[in-house]
Structure 1
Amino acid sequence: MNKNITLYTTTMCPVCRMVREFLSNMNIEYKEINVDLNPIVRIKLIRKTRRLSVPQINIDGEWVFGFDPVRILKVLNAKAN
């Protein structure tokens, strides 16, 4: 699956850890950006999505918020077609 997947996280987020483990267990490659370490990215992310919470996952331009494995797979499958 050759998708552009970016996972936005924070250091102490247990739900972020769940998403990370899910993606890894499914052998889905992704880029992780910890917004605790990059406040400029955090501000841009909030402006773009209008959400303060993490995790936020961008899959080829489509957003998935929180830990929603069904939606993650649905978006990945839709982008594969």
Structure 2
Amino acid sequence: MKNVEIYTKSYCPYCKRAKELLHIKNVSFTEFDVTSDPVKEQEMRHRSGRHTVPQIFIDDEPIGGCSDLFDLDETGELDGKLGINSSGG
């Protein structure tokens, strides 16, 4: 199973959408809520080069935010990155 990490803020609707897509795909992930954690937020900015949430990583590869995640899903690339068998899994 791939290591999936997502940096979120509690009030962010895009974070909720991204997590929902991962749940639909039955992908477990580690969530870092940076709402009140400036140290974790700085870590996110350093890792991703971005300052918006969510920021998603698959095996340490920066995927981007919610729209990037959905774009990958639309093109069929997301399942491959997640290691999901597209023929049923």
> Under a length normalisation based on structure 1, what TM-score does the superposition of the two structures give?
0.82
- 1:18 aligns to what? 17
Q: Greater CA deviation, 25-34 or 59-68?
A: 59-68
- 1:55 aligns to what? 54
**Structure 1 vs Structure 2 CA RMSD:** 1.8
Point out which structure has higher relative CO (alpha carbons under 8 A, 6+ apart).
Answer: 1
Between the aligned partners of 2:27 and 2:47, the Cα distance in structure 1 is 24
> In the alignment, is the contact (CA less than 8 A) between 2:48 and 2:64 conserved in 1?
no
> Under a length normalisation based on structure 2, what TM-score does the superposition of the two structures give?
0.76
- 1:77 aligns to what? 80
Gapped regions of structure 1 (runs ≥ 5): none
Question: What CA deviation, in whole Å up to 9, does each residue of 1:37-68 have, x standing for no partner?
Answer: 32211112112222110111110011111222
Secondary structure at the counterpart of residue 53 of structure 1: coil
Between the aligned partners of 1:30 and 1:47, the Cα distance in structure 2 is 20
When residues 42 and 24 of structure 1 are mapped into structure 2, their CA distance, relative to the original with a 3 A threshold, is: same
How many matched pairs? 79
Runs of 4+ in 1 over 6 A off after TM superposition: none
> In the alignment, is the contact (CA less than 8 A) between 1:56 and 1:63 conserved in 2?
yes
